[in-house]
Structure 1
Amino acid sequence: MEALNHLQSFVLSAESGSFSAAARRLGLTPAAVSKNVARLEGNLGLRLFQRSTRKLTLTEGGERFLQQVGGALETLQNAMTDVAGERGQPSGILKISMAPAFGRRYVLPLLGRFIERYPGVVPDCHFDNRHVDLIGQGFDVAIGGGIELTPGMVARQFGHAYIVATASPAFMQGRVMPQHPSELAQFDGVVRRSAGSGRLRSWILRDGQGGEGVAECRPRAILDDPEAMAQAAIDGLGVALLPTPHAQPHLRSGALIRLLPGWCADSGPLSIYYPSKKLLPAKTRVFVDFLLAQFEESGFAAQMQADSRRSD
């Protein structure tokens, strides 16, 4: 088992390019990971890394050794994970990143069922509208959309998000319904500031038949959270261009109405992201499988469709 720990430290350090990142994934200190790699180098009689204060680089021998042991270590780790899972023993802290509004609405209601099924796993949920460095910051799972896939990451899609134009019935009372996205320029709007760039977001809406138009309102309020935007629109502050996960519940309840029902913008896939299947812990595997099954059972993907034939 000690040799396996040394190999794990080496492989994760090579994948992440840092002892610190490997330590976060293994639940060890960087010093312990460095010591494990040093012991492996001593046993092999081979230097695996060139070390500097800023960078960790594989030597030629280290690259060759990584190619040789990577697959075998993955097979061994998967076998151990499967055995542990069959005994019903997934356990440990599961570090999860998700957007605040999406997590509260769609993920938190499922956690009780997951904990009941896997009592040894403790979800550690981090809510942030900014994208995290999944591997570098030691997250087991991230949930949401628009996360850039980097080497060593896997994405499992469970739905697709679209941007639709919405407003409260009270706000639209006495106003003429727009027929084209360009006509939204006549309306006050609840607009979103991008958390990454700080710029105000605008969208190009398409009707599925070749038509398109820029959707921009007169900024009446600027917010950086889609659920807050939905609430502001419900309160009558103006038109809000919302992702379907945040729009559909309020459209179904009647608190918001859909403007331009034949038009939408593609906001991209919604996925569960996690480090590559190499050394995937049982706690991560069962959570990913559980969440995907729950989303499929609830018909989540179909609910998020911005079908041009529907106004809800």
Structure 2
Amino acid sequence: METLANLESFVRSAESGSFSAAARRLGLTPAAVSRNVAFLERNLGVRLFARSTRGLTLTEAGERFRLSVQSGLDSIQEAIADIKMNAGEPAGVLKLSAAPGFGMDFLLPLMPTFLERYPGVIPDWVFDSRPLDLIAGGFDAAIGAGFDLPPGMVARELAQIHLIAVASPALLRGKRHPKDPTGLAEFPSVVLRSPLSGRVRTQVMRNKSGLEVTAKQQAVMLVNDPDALCRAVVLGLGIGLIPVSHAASHLENGSLVRLLPNWYGDVGAISLYFTSQKLLPAKTRAFIDFVVEAFKVQKLPQVLATH
């Protein structure tokens, strides 16, 4: 396989009819250009130039070869120039994944500022609660929890997510609030099934002293989606153990009330997932840095782990 330097030396020498002129254009010495062309001729086993004191003349074989390679060489050089020019400018379609509720509540509100800063980037969001195959799906980045890390992917933790017990004011009217997680069994509950295994997870809750107690739930409905769980609890169908990320806005507007304010469950970390390649595309690097900074400025790790 011929090197780009050899081909470029040949084509520019053919265009100018001189090794010296080609050397000035390529930023090389005439001897280096002559040597590159000689290597090319030796490797091809054919003479490309007829050399004389008056300059260079393409042989018949040289002319055919020039016509064959020149357009391809020009395309390669244009591609190199384009990538160099745009390497520092984030641009292009950025394929992203996030869980629907979290993405719409915490990530979409970041987009106006992101797009104002990086107008050449087009976010292509896929909202899905299930962990996806990021590499096979062609995703540039994803934000979520519970993703398997295949070779070539890394996770950068953004925040710890805590689970809290909540209920609608109507459901609690006239009832005593429970004193600890075992008291949740006295209320009807909407319970979350794993969207992958279908199993109901036994949730352990802890208080600020570190005491751990298993939450008891009397299921009157089961759902496989955290957004559906939250909506069902707002409707008063039962109490629910809901991530802070889903409950926060409802606690603020009064549509949900927190039970057991000193108790919480650990859901795990919500992380930013992306490929581990050293030279990330500028669009991906810009998004990662932007989200990490936004989480820090808005103090979202503290908000999402409130307990």
**TM over 0.5: same fold?**
yes
In structure 2, relative to structure 1, the CA distance for the partners of 1:210 and 1:298 (3 Å cut) is closer
Task: Look up the match of 1:123.
Answer: 123
In structure 2, relative to structure 1, the CA distance for the partners of 1:180 and 1:140 (3 Å cut) is same
Task: Look up the match of 1:42.
Answer: none
Over residues 144-169 of structure 1, what are the superposed CA-to-partner deviations in whole Å (9 max), with x where a residue is unaligned? 12223333222222211011100011
Q: What are the equivalent positions in structure 2 for 1:274-285 lying under 5 Å apart?
A: 274-285=274-285
Is the 1:182–1:216 contact (alpha carbons within 8 Å) kept by the matching residues of 2? yes
Over residues 186-211 of structure 1, what are the superposed CA-to-partner deviations in whole Å (9 max), with x where a residue is unaligned? 21011111111011233111113242
In structure 2, relative to structure 1, the CA distance for the partners of 1:82 and 1:221 (3 Å cut) is farther
Give the C-alpha shift of residue 173 in structure 1. Answer: 1.1
Task: Look up the match of 2:99.
Answer: 99
- Normalising by the residue count of structure 2, what TM-score does the alignment of the two structures yield? 0.69
Two-structure CA RMSD over aligned residues (Å): 2.2
Give the C-alpha shift of residue 81 in structure 1. Answer: 8.1
**Amino acid in the other structure paired with 2:173:** Q
Q: What are the equivalent positions in structure 2 for 1:74-85 lying under 5 Å apart?
A: 84=86
Task: Look up the match of 2:176.
Answer: 176
Which protein shows a greater Rg?
A: 2
- The residue matched to 1:266 in structure 2 has which SS? strand
Q: What are the equivalent positions in structure 2 for 1:27-106 lying under 5 Å apart?
A: 84=86, 86=88, 89-106=89-106
Task: Look up the match of 1:167.
Answer: 167
1:302 and 1:249 map into 2 onto residues whose CA distance is 15
1:206 and 1:160 map into 2 onto residues whose CA distance is 15
- The residue matched to 2:263 in structure 1 has which SS? coil
Is the 2:198–2:224 contact (alpha carbons within 8 Å) kept by the matching residues of 1? no
**Amino acid in the other structure paired with 2:158:** F
Task: Look up the match of 2:231.
Answer: 231
**Amino acid in the other structure paired with 1:113:** T
Task: Look up the match of 1:256.
Answer: 256
The alignment covers a number of residue pairs equal to 229
Over residues 73-105 of structure 1, what are the superposed CA-to-partner deviations in whole Å (9 max), with x where a residue is unaligned? xxxxxxx9897454xx21111111110111111
Give the C-alpha shift of residue 119 in structure 1. Answer: 1.6
Task: Look up the match of 1:271.
Answer: 271
Over residues 209-259 of structure 1, what are the superposed CA-to-partner deviations in whole Å (9 max), with x where a residue is unaligned? 242222132212222222222221121111010011111221122211111
Over residues 108-145 of structure 1, what are the superposed CA-to-partner deviations in whole Å (9 max), with x where a residue is unaligned? 12122212221211111111111011122211101012
Task: Look up the match of 1:202.
Answer: 202
